[in-house]
Amino acid sequence: MRITALAGGVGGARFLRGLLAAAPEAEVTVVGNVGDDMTMHGLRICPDLDTVMYTLGGGIHEGQGWGRDGETFGVAEELKAYGVGPDWFTLGDKDIATHLVRTQMLGAGYPLSAVTEALCTRWELPVRLLPSTDERVETHVVIDDADAPGGRRAVHFQEYWVRMHAPDARAIVSVGAENAKPAPGVLEAVAEADVILLPPSNPVVSIGTILQIPGLRQAVAGAAAPVVGLSPIVGGGPVRGMADKVLAAVGVEVSAAAVAQHYGAGLLDGWLVDADADADAVAEVEAAGIACRAVPLLMSSPEATRAMAQAALDLAAELAARAA
Ligand code: GDP
Ligand code: CA
């Protein structure tokens, strides 16, 4: 079975681990988000791709969900001693090695997809990890600022989230998206998949950013495979992160049913909501033309996460049988 999953960072990576446990024989391609990428100290940093790589490669800091295990911060301490900022974003020493390899390869002319493949070779990744695009696409968030002309300004997503801790947002802009194209292999992985999954990643700044790459949304919507998503919203709020703020910024209610309708019946064939908190949402989602099931949706243990992935695969199989 060929499974193609779109994924952000921590939520996506944790789900993918459950997916590999549920379908150990499957050929899994992950289309990763690049909207969080940035350059700092001259280093190109791809937080979501690295979170997937470290998680599936066995190098993740388990408690945190991102960054390397057993990390040290010698470089960060030296930078601080020099008074060199920013002080709101700390890079670990092991992580810096990843960014050095990436930056060097990009500088030598390799596209991000080739760089990502090279980095993943070291981790013997059990999936094929593709960036959604080789072009630079960076998410910026428009926030209120009384001192800015017009009372608003845009900040890079990392600054919005890590430095500012997600204040109310007015708009989300994927800078560069309209001129980007899907990375090599992405459209093929979507077209040739038996199942397409949208993990419970952020629907706006993770999956939403991937779907904004021209051609990608149409490819997913038009694919022969059933498309099944899992709600990142449980009981009216995100399980972690700032999805509530960025959903509000794009005018979407913070509920499991509203996120399904935001993706839309043209894109999604099936949707999973949490059985404890959101069983009421099933009828509303089905009325919108999307098959919906209520199952436990908290990734509280490896077994719970495996069961979530299995539920998504079961719904996909049911939809494929119905279509045949
Ligand atoms: P990020 O890039 O690190 O923010 O990670 P993702 O975009 O891949 O995932 C973030 C989303 O995962 C958030 O909107 C969370 O609500 C969601 N999430 C995290 N843990 C869980 C969980 O246990 N269950 C569900 N349903 N969603 C989760
Ligand atoms: Ca992210």
304: confidence class by pLDDT, cuts 50, 70, 90: very high
Reply yes or no on whether the pLDDT at 119 is more than 90: yes
Give per-residue pLDDT as tens, 16-28.
999 999 999 999 9
Cβ–ligand 1 contact at 210 (below 6 Å)? no
CA nearest ligand 1 atom 1, residue:
9
Give the pLDDT confidence of 77-91 residue by residue, as tens digits. Answer: 999 999 998 989 999
> Average model confidence (pLDDT) for the chain?
97
pLDDT of residue 18: 98
Q: Which ranges in 126-191 belong to alpha helices (H)?
A: 157-158, 186-191
pTM above 0.95, yes or no: yes
Q: Which domains does the chain have, with CATH numbers?
A: 1-134+182-245+253-324 (3.40.50.10680), 138-178 (no CATH)
User: From the alpha carbon of 207, which atom of ligand 1 is closest?
Assistant: 7
| Ligand showing the shortest atom-to-Cα distance for residue 243 | 1
| Å from CA of 245 to ligand 1 middle | 14
C-alpha closest to that of 298 among 232, 229, 207, 205: 232
> What pLDDT score was predicted for residue 324?
86
The string of pLDDT tens digits covering residues 192-234 is: 999 999 999 999 999 999 999 999 999 999 999 999 999 999 9
Query: If pLDDT is split at 50, 70 and 90, which confidence band does 42 have?
Result: very high
In eight-state DSSP terms, residue 182 is B
The C-alpha atoms of residue 81 and residue 153 are separated, in whole angstroms, by 31
| Tens-digit pLDDT profile for residues 241-256 | 999 999 999 999 999 9
